[in-house]
């Protein structure tokens, strides 16, 4: 396995995830960890976990049609302050990495951590990414349905 220290921070990793989600025509499948139960949104699961524990672990897995699999892993926690009423009002430490594999090639890409002024800022980012994930997921499912239809009369 090759380990690469990107020299970029978690915000660059987020931008790469957003770009990947916009390439829905080249995506074979998408998943998230933890996977939300039916009727719940991923952002709600992450928010509930964070509000109760002060930390979160979120992953997005994208498998592309060319065989590349990218696993985006985000780790974060509140930085407790005496003035903070809730974890959402506290500064938020975030770090992350991308684990890529394609056939026998494996790359572990490490991004520099970032401290956000408030955890609320992070959940605005999660909402934006969640919207893009949802659109891409729908596009991928529609493509699969279209491929499975038999138009041979």
92-151: pLDDT as tens digits: 999 999 999 999 999 999 999 999 999 999 999 988 888 888 888 888 878 777 766 665
Q: What is the pLDDT of residues 10-68, one digit of tens each?
A: 999 999 999 999 998 899 999 988 887 777 888 888 899 999 999 999 999 999 999 99
Whole-number pLDDT of residue 150: 62
Whole-number pLDDT of residue 152: 57
Q: Within its chain, how far is the Cα of 148 from the centroid?
A: 28
Q: Which two tokens stand for residue 128?
A: 């934006």
Q: Which residue in this structure is represented by tokens 């930390």?
A: 55
HSE at residue 75, side-chain half, CA atoms within 13 A, is 8
Among positive and negative, which fits the CA dihedral 78, 83, 89, 93? Answer: negative
The residue count of the chain comes to 153
Whole-number pLDDT of residue 131: 83
Q: Whose CA is closest to 14, among 77, 76, 73?
A: 73
Whole-number pLDDT of residue 11: 95
Q: Within its chain, how far is the Cα of 126 from the centroid?
A: 8
């Amino acid at each position: 396995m090759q380990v690469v220290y990107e020299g970029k921070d978690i915000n660059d990793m987020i931008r790469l995830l957003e770009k990947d989600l916009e390439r829905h025509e080249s995506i074979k499948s998408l998943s998230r960890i933890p996977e939300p139960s039916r009727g719940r949104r991923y952002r709600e699961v992450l928010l509930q976990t964070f509000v109760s524990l002060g930390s979160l672990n979120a992953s997005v897995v994208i498998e592309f049609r060319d065989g590349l699999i990218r696993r985006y892993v985000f780790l974060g926690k509140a930085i407790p302050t005496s003035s903070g009423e809730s974890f959402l009002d506290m500064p938020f430490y975030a770090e992350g990495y991308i684990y890529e594999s394609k056939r026998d090639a494996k790359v572990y890409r490490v991004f520099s951590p970032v401290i956000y002024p408030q955890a609320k800022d992070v959940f605005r980012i999660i909402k934006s990414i969640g919207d893009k994930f949802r659109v891409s997921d729908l596009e991928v499912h529609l493509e699969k349905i279209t491929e499975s239809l038999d138009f041979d009369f």
